Structure 1
């Protein structure tokens, strides 16, 4: 389950794994609906014809326009979102954003908890020996 690809985009760092993406947005960025275009390109390049989960590891302070979620829902192979907020304020923001996404959306205290959840919901998920 090692990392497959790493991207250092202008607004975020993206780590591609077999069944999921971990995204770490950079400080003071405002995530807007146009960011879905980049996200969709990455998903189609690495997960064409295969389900995947998006993990947002929120280690920096940034803003999210919740209107990104209805657009993200249109990505057919995106089956769920996991959020790992660093602070109580980030957790409250993630809870608010959850109202805009109608697929599975969970908030976790650690990245390892989120990854365990991903493997529990992925169809045909493999476990490592």
Structure 2
């Protein structure tokens, strides 16, 4: 499966065991945005494990409250941030403290896919 969904705040590409999300420039990711993302994952990953991959191409902010709610998704087994931007990686390190599941930061999508495949296979 490979389906792309477009929203006013992000673009999502759905794969069998992960979702890649690209948040648009200048967005402040709120709990309302997060609720939309959660509904999509409930639709596409109902009861199977998946990894959320945040491809940070643009500059945006995340309300830390989002992470505690996202971590409650039972079948979400990990989160990956992919970026070449130093500041985005620093922000992700801070955000990692709010997320109580596996959370990795990579510069390359291939590394994110490999990590996602590894933790999916371990399920």
Same fold per TM (> 0.5)? yes
Distance in 2 separating the partners of 1:70 and 1:8 = 24
Partner of 1:77: 75
TM-score (norm 2): 0.95
Alignment length (residue pairs): 123
- Structure 1 runs (4+) deviating above 6 angstroms are none
* Structure 1 unaligned residues grouped into runs of 5+: none
Q: Give the deviation of 1:86 after TM superposition.
A: 2.9
The answer to whether residue 20 in structure 2 is matched with residue 22 in structure 1 is yes
SS in structure 2 of the partner of residue 122 of structure 1:
helix
Provide the C-alpha distance between the structure 1 equivalents of 2:30 and 2:67, rounded to a whole number of angstroms.
10
1:108 maps to 106
TM-score, structure 1 as length reference: 0.91
Q: Secondary structure at the match of 2:20?
A: strand
Once residues 124 and 42 of structure 1 are traced to their aligned partners in structure 2, the CA distance between those partners, rounded to angstroms, is 24
TM-superposition CA deviations, 1:74-108 (whole Å, max 9, x none) = 11111110001231111100000000001000000
CA contact (8 A) 1:85 1:94 kept: no
Q: Comparing both structures, which one devotes a greater share of its residues to helix?
A: 2
CA RMSD across the alignment? 1.3
- In structure 2, runs of 5+ residues without a counterpart are none
